[in-house]
Structure 1
Amino acid sequence: MALDTSPTAAPGQPRTRPGAPSKSPLTPARSALVLFVLCAAQFMVALDFSVLNVALPALGADLGMSQSALQWAVTAFALPSGGFLLLFGRVGDLFGRRKLFLTGLVVFGAASLLATFAWDPGSFLVGRALQGMGAAAIVPTGMSLLTTTFPEGPQRDRALGISGTLLSLGFTVGMVLGGVMTDALGWRSTMGLLALFTLIVLPLAPRVLTESRHPERPRLDVPGAVSVTGALLALIYGLSSAAERGFGEPDVLIALVVGVALLVAFVLVESRSPSPLVSLPMLRRPTVAWGNLGGLLTFSMMSTIVFVLTLYLQEVLHLSASMTGLVFGVQGVLSVVAGSFAPKLIGRIGARRTLTGALLVQGLLTAALLGIGAESGALLAAAAVSLASMAHLAAIISYGVTVTSGVPDSEQGLATGLVTTTQQVGITIGIPLLGVLATTRGDLLTGVRTVIGIDAALLVVAAALTAFGLRRRAPRP
């Protein structure tokens, strides 16, 4: 049962509205427990994005899945986890973030067990799709519980810094653990690990988290929810499929066209809805629009670099999978270091300058990777991508702070839903849009260098655009 930390109203003063987040100070011990629960859940979901990648060949051999069908092991998770983020973020705002967060944990844990003991491809893919549904409930509600629990300022910056660090670390740890666990215990252990994480987090969550929701409980915008969810599902399917089969396939083209058409319909619906799912004035906030642009670019460009460097290290330099994992393991260690100083940097120079500076540094360090060669380059790759990941993490934290700053608690679920949707879409679009160039240029090394150059240029342009869009305007006299 959740502890009630709402302050008692003084005589003649109104009491705290039911469902509104408590604004009473947290004790250090309780603050640490809340942060542990929310960050552990985010880490678990981040782990799920990458832990299965190295295990796919073993999974296919065991369950009898063809090489072409293996992409669905990833896509079955990506579709619901990205497609329902905005909807579930808003549902949490209206009906209770804590309630939906706990529901997501239960669904995620049960789905992980189903995937662990899957007996055929169908049961495994159902488990993966349900994992994605659970993740779509956990991520936006967990982020909004974090931003409504910790007040805007140093406390929230520190909490977002820890959350961003574990998000990046979870993705990296998943890549390393996936190979080690598959070799030692089999592919099923990767799914079992996620079920174990749920068993650790779930008993604690109801005890330390307090409920919060929109105080007025407005009506849910069903047409907006249907159109934006359909748009995200279609776009993620199209882009994920394009990464495997190219953009020329009919189903890929149809999915992308439908996705764009539904996005246009969504904008029209929201402009006329009395209770819109996404407030268009919020999207016009410079912090929301330009902050999310910076987040989209930092995620998509880093996921692309990790993809092409994996190809380079294994196919050009012929490193083993375990050695390749160690290269990215250094990246994870330095991400932890970046997570400790990024909130301090934000407190000193502001989230806007941190975001634009981090994008610029990530771009310049990505450009340094143009020095890799056919005979050597592993050390350069390890050093440059690890340092770039520090800037990447600073960008993650600062764009989260930028987007959620100044947003009322009643709309934090929407704001954090936009943040997490940007993360998912960024991770999804980078590889199909740029990564495929590495394998279609004839010579792999030439293709990798081409992708690196484009990646670096886009990050530098993103830094310039966010600096312009987030510039401070002089106050009106």
Structure 2
Amino acid sequence: MSAPRTIPSPTVEAGAIAASAQPGIRMTGRQKLVLTLLLGAQFMIAVDFSILNVALPVVGRGLGFSLADLQWIATAFALAAAGFTLLFGRVADIVGRKRMFLGGMAVLGASSLLGGLATSPEVLLCARVLQGLATAAVTPAGLALLTTAFKEGPLRERALGLNGALMSAGFTAGAVLGGLLTDLLSWRWAFFINAPVALLVLVLAPSVITDSRPDERPRLDIPGAVTVTGGLLALVHGLTQAGETGWTTPTTLASLLAGVALLVAFWFVEKRVATPLVPVRILRRRSVIWGNATGLIAFVTETSLVFLLTLYLQEVLGYSPLATGFAFGVLGLGTVIGGTLGGRAVGRCGTRTTIVVGGIVQAAATLTLVALGTSGAWIWLLLAATFIGGIGNMLMIVGFMVTATSGLPDNEQGLATGLATMTQQVGITMGIPVMSAVAAARMTSLGDTGPTGVLSGVTVAILVNSALVLMGSLLAGALLGTRRRAGAPGR
């Protein structure tokens, strides 16, 4: 892993050594306030990814969605969030991260109110698209503000660890909160709850957050923006369709092929334009490539594992959606612990070791789940394994975030965090259809969609999940390079 020659900032590993040599470094009061504000916004974004999942049948009955169209409540959000993240991350570098962050929070609050007041499927889907666009603006801008508020080293590692912990905990909290609000009040409160949080951030942020952007504003790379946004939209659409209709249907294949073609075109566009959306030199950096590869694997495996275990809990053990959400509370606790440990692990051991150890822990914990059976007593294995696996997964995610955003100047932090956020959101979208296809193939081969068949399909998919995270983390660890002394030259 290397640092650019043009800036004096140390490598991630050098920062790790500095962290261990300076244990007394503390955040200032203003930094703590900035951190609290930005983490609160990111937590709310993470909750939005999952808060409606357990409420989808209720939403569908309330607004007249057909069963086949329910998936679009989630897909509309995912398409906008994943498709526009990279573009908005770069726009934030140009117009200002603070302005993009505040604008996205305003749209998020307004679209949440619109969703809560929706009286037709069309209005609700419009609100979900706007929520996705707001997420695509807020997440990379917020992360860029976070990384520029904390210079490379122990404080940034600690901040990114807390950010990762709250982001992952937010996915779990969303499932629990969605079940509670739907059962006790109405599904509409899954939208309304965002409004006061967004308003609080909009009131406090202008006087607390310091903006950062380049002195000279480069032109926006329109051809690059069109090809990468179109490619991501097509790719995410194809992945979501694969989970619903299969991998070989014409619409799935057409979307996936179009996505790949547009992303290949994006690469060639970036090699030729004067002011590229993503400079090719950044895409060639080992830390960017393998840092984001690690993040993709971490999000693909953990979010798909939640899906597989949801099938197990509801279809095999007969849990209700609310009980299922509470069962994943243990996973959320594990991710919070992993996030708080992640920054320290990076500081003491470096990113490579943190990623490899986290991946091995997650893979081993996931592998134990192949022993799950049809008795309710197996819930204790599930709780223990998801708790330990959550810690390992979060170590990988913190290592990914530190790696993917280090060694770059502040004026490219929006781009780096945009790439990292895009990786996160594509991983979240990709994991479920991939593992769903594995489980469905097993059930089809058995000709059994009852509890026994579901358990068999889930078991095979868990084996694939465990192997994927183990191979991915070991490969990333091998290719990220070795730890160097502070001040050693980059490669």
Q: Same fold (TM over 0.5)?
A: yes
Which moved further from structure 2: 416-425 or 312-321? 312-321
Whole-Å separation in 2 of the counterparts to 1:234 and 1:413: 24
- 2:442 counterpart letter in structure 1: R
User: What does 1:446-465 align with in structure 2 at a 5 Å threshold?
Assistant: 446-465=456-475
- Provide the secondary structure at the position in 2 that maps to 1:278: coil
- 1:457 counterpart letter in structure 2: A
Whole-Å separation in 2 of the counterparts to 1:128 and 1:323: 26
Which residue of structure 1 lines up, in the alignment, with residue 134 of structure 2?
134
- 2:244 counterpart letter in structure 1: E
Report Cα offsets for 1:376-395 as digits up to 9, x if no partner.
Answer: 42111111011101111111
Which residue of structure 1 lines up, in the alignment, with residue 395 of structure 2?
394
Whole-Å separation in 2 of the counterparts to 1:473 and 1:156: 19
Post-superposition offset of 1:241: 1.7
Is the Cα–Cα contact under 8 Å of residues 359 and 391 in structure 1 kept in the other structure?
Answer: yes
Report Cα offsets for 1:260-303 as digits up to 9, x if no partner.
Answer: 10011001101111111111111111111111111100100001
Is the Cα–Cα contact under 8 Å of residues 235 and 256 in structure 1 kept in the other structure?
Answer: yes
Post-superposition offset of 1:65: 0.5
Identity of paired residues, percent?
A: 49
Report Cα offsets for 1:308-353 as digits up to 9, x if no partner.
Answer: 1010011111122232222101111222222222111111001121
Post-superposition offset of 1:27: 7.2
Which residue of structure 2 lines up, in the alignment, with residue 48 of structure 1?
48
CA root-mean-square deviation: 1.6
Is the Cα–Cα contact under 8 Å of residues 243 and 432 in structure 1 kept in the other structure?
Answer: yes
Is the Cα–Cα contact under 8 Å of residues 367 and 466 in structure 2 kept in the other structure?
Answer: yes
TM-score by length of 1: 0.92
Post-superposition offset of 1:123: 0.6
Report Cα offsets for 1:91-133 as digits up to 9, x if no partner.
Answer: 0111111011111001111000000000101011101100111
Report Cα offsets for 1:413-463 as digits up to 9, x if no partner.
Answer: 111011100100111111111223223422111111110111111111112
Whole-Å separation in 1 of the counterparts to 2:483 and 2:156: 25
Is the Cα–Cα contact under 8 Å of residues 366 and 462 in structure 2 kept in the other structure?
Answer: yes
Which moved further from structure 2: 281-290 or 437-446? 437-446
Post-superposition offset of 1:173: 0.3
Which residue of structure 2 lines up, in the alignment, with residue 286 of structure 1?
286
Whole-Å separation in 2 of the counterparts to 1:76 and 1:27: 39
Report Cα offsets for 1:19-38 as digits up to 9, x if no partner.
Answer: xxxxxx99722111111111
User: What does 1:23-42 align with in structure 2 at a 5 Å threshold?
Assistant: 28-42=28-42
Which residue of structure 2 lines up, in the alignment, with residue 16 of structure 1?
none
Whole-Å separation in 2 of the counterparts to 1:71 and 1:321: 17
Is the Cα–Cα contact under 8 Å of residues 78 and 132 in structure 1 kept in the other structure?
Answer: yes
User: What does 1:73-472 align with in structure 2 at a 5 Å threshold?
Assistant: 73-375=73-375, 376-442=377-443, 443-472=453-482
Whole-Å separation in 2 of the counterparts to 1:273 and 1:472: 34
Whole-Å separation in 2 of the counterparts to 1:322 and 1:117: 24
Post-superposition offset of 1:151: 0.8
Report Cα offsets for 1:226-270 as digits up to 9, x if no partner.
Answer: 100000011111111211221233222211111010011001101
Q: Find out whether 1:62 has 2:62 as its counterpart.
A: yes
- Provide the secondary structure at the position in 2 that maps to 1:441: helix
Whole-Å separation in 1 of the counterparts to 2:417 and 2:399: 13
Gaps of 5+ in 2: 1-24, 444-452
- 1:331 counterpart letter in structure 2: L
Whole-Å separation in 2 of the counterparts to 1:305 and 1:147: 30
Which residue of structure 1 lines up, in the alignment, with residue 22 of structure 2?
none
- 2:414 counterpart letter in structure 1: G
- 1:378 counterpart letter in structure 2: I
Is the Cα–Cα contact under 8 Å of residues 38 and 142 in structure 1 kept in the other structure?
Answer: yes
Whole-Å separation in 1 of the counterparts to 2:318 and 2:483: 53
Whole-Å separation in 2 of the counterparts to 1:413 and 1:26: 25
- Provide the secondary structure at the position in 2 that maps to 1:151: coil
Whole-Å separation in 2 of the counterparts to 1:206 and 1:80: 26
Is the Cα–Cα contact under 8 Å of residues 298 and 395 in structure 1 kept in the other structure?
Answer: yes
Is the Cα–Cα contact under 8 Å of residues 361 and 388 in structure 2 kept in the other structure?
Answer: no
Q: Aligned in 2, Cα 1:202/1:434: closer, same or farther, shift over 3 Å?
A: same
Whole-Å separation in 2 of the counterparts to 1:131 and 1:228: 20
- Provide the secondary structure at the position in 1 that maps to 2:278: coil
Whole-Å separation in 1 of the counterparts to 2:340 and 2:210: 27
Whole-Å separation in 2 of the counterparts to 1:110 and 1:230: 26
Whole-Å separation in 2 of the counterparts to 1:338 and 1:74: 28
- 1:382 counterpart letter in structure 2: L
Is the Cα–Cα contact under 8 Å of residues 334 and 386 in structure 2 kept in the other structure?
Answer: no
Whole-Å separation in 1 of the counterparts to 2:245 and 2:67: 12
TM-score by length of 2: 0.90
Gaps of 5+ in 1: 1-24
Is the Cα–Cα contact under 8 Å of residues 299 and 427 in structure 2 kept in the other structure?
Answer: yes
Q: Aligned in 2, Cα 1:206/1:156: closer, same or farther, shift over 3 Å?
A: same
Is the Cα–Cα contact under 8 Å of residues 294 and 359 in structure 1 kept in the other structure?
Answer: no
Which moved further from structure 2: 242-251 or 449-458? 242-251
Is the Cα–Cα contact under 8 Å of residues 85 and 418 in structure 2 kept in the other structure?
Answer: yes
Q: Aligned in 2, Cα 1:311/1:27: closer, same or farther, shift over 3 Å?
A: closer
Which residue of structure 1 lines up, in the alignment, with residue 6 of structure 2?
none
Report Cα offsets for 1:32-84 as digits up to 9, x if no partner.
Answer: 11111111111111000000001111101110010111111001111111100
- 2:416 counterpart letter in structure 1: A
- Provide the secondary structure at the position in 1 that maps to 2:69: coil
Whole-Å separation in 2 of the counterparts to 1:402 and 1:473: 12
